[in-house]
């Protein structure tokens, strides 16, 4: 018996990082998974990993900033598996980077479209099916940048704070239908979105991240997948409207930075999906 037996999950941004780890974890626990992402190569690789873990999965090319694509991902779950039990709004990017007075309106809006509007769109299109079933769990990836200043770029931080409060307000609306709505606030998680963009890659990122919170190691995608699994399972039946912080104590104790690793170099411009370069 798996913790998600007979459940169907749609996971956005599932081709790498947190989304990929969660898709495989869900599949191992008995869920059928729609792997929704722009990255077809990575997405199909995750589908293969889910199958190797004994689960069922399919890839759906999805640009989460486009309403038609988000609706299509939900429809794919309904067509392929007959229901939607879990939606994990996870797709993300760094977005607009740099001083507020040097941030373009275009980069600001592109960031908000992926990090905030996409969460709204996922909720909008998953809730009708969940309401019909009178059950469901919606999970969104927020961030510690949404709960404290200085933890992320400006547009990113604003979007993540909005995701937290959108989670709370929608949770109240849909609670009578047995639909739970929660979000996860990761701290420093070493994913391709981060380590693909710094000199030295994953190893240097891990060394740096091990110093930004009291817990003496970098966060890894499985740390967030574990929380997502709890929120997707019936074990969290009485949990809704919550922002679950998974940050190694960052928001409790702040940065330690007691080692010898230098801070990562500042970036400017726009940081897109993990398989694209910084522009």
- Active site residues per annotation: 156
3-state secondary structure string, 219-276?
A: ECHHHHHHHHHHHHCHHHCCCCCCEEEECCCHHHHCCCCCCCCCCCCCCCEEECCCCC
Please count the CA atoms within 13 angstroms of the CA of 206 that sit on its side-chain side.
6
CB–CB of 82/32 below 8 Å?
no
CB–CB of 34/58 below 8 Å?
yes
Angle, helices 154-174 vs 105-112, to 10°: value is 30
């Amino acid at each position: 018996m798996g913790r998600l037996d007979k459940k169907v999950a749609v996971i956005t941004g599932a081709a790498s990082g947190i989304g990929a780890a969660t898709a495989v974890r869900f599949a191992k626990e008995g869920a059928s998974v729609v792997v929704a992402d722009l990255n077809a190569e990575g997405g199909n690789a995750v589908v293969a990993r889910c199958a190797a873990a004994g689960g069922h999965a399919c890839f759906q090319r999805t640009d989460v900033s486009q309403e038609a694509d988000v609706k299509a991902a939900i429809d794919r779950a309904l067509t392929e598996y007959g229901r939607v039990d879990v939606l994990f709004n996870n797709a993300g990017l760094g977005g607009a980077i740099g001083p507020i007075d040097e941030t373009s309106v275009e980069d600001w809006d592109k960031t908000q479209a992926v990090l905030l509007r996409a969460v709204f769109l996922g909720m909008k299109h998953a809730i009708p099916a969940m309401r019909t079933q009178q059950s469901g769990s919606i999970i969104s990836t927020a961030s510690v940048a949404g709960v404290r200043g200085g933890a992320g770029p400006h547009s990113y931080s604003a979007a993540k704070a909005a995701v937290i409060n959108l989670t709370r307000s929608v949770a109240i609306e849909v609670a009578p239908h047995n639909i739970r709505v929660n979000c996860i606030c990761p701290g420093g998680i070493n994913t391709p979105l981060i380590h693909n963009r710094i000199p030295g890659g994953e190893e240097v990122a891990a060394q740096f991240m091990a110093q930004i919170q009291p817990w003496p190691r970098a966060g890894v995608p499985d740390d967030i997948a574990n929380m997502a699994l709890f929120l997707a399972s019936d074990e969290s039946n009485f949990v809704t409207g919550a922002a679950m912080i998974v940050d190694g104590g960052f928001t409790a104790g702040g940065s330690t930075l007691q080692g010898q690793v230098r801070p990562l170099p500042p970036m400017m411009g726009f940081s897109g999906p993990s398989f694209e370069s910084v522009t």
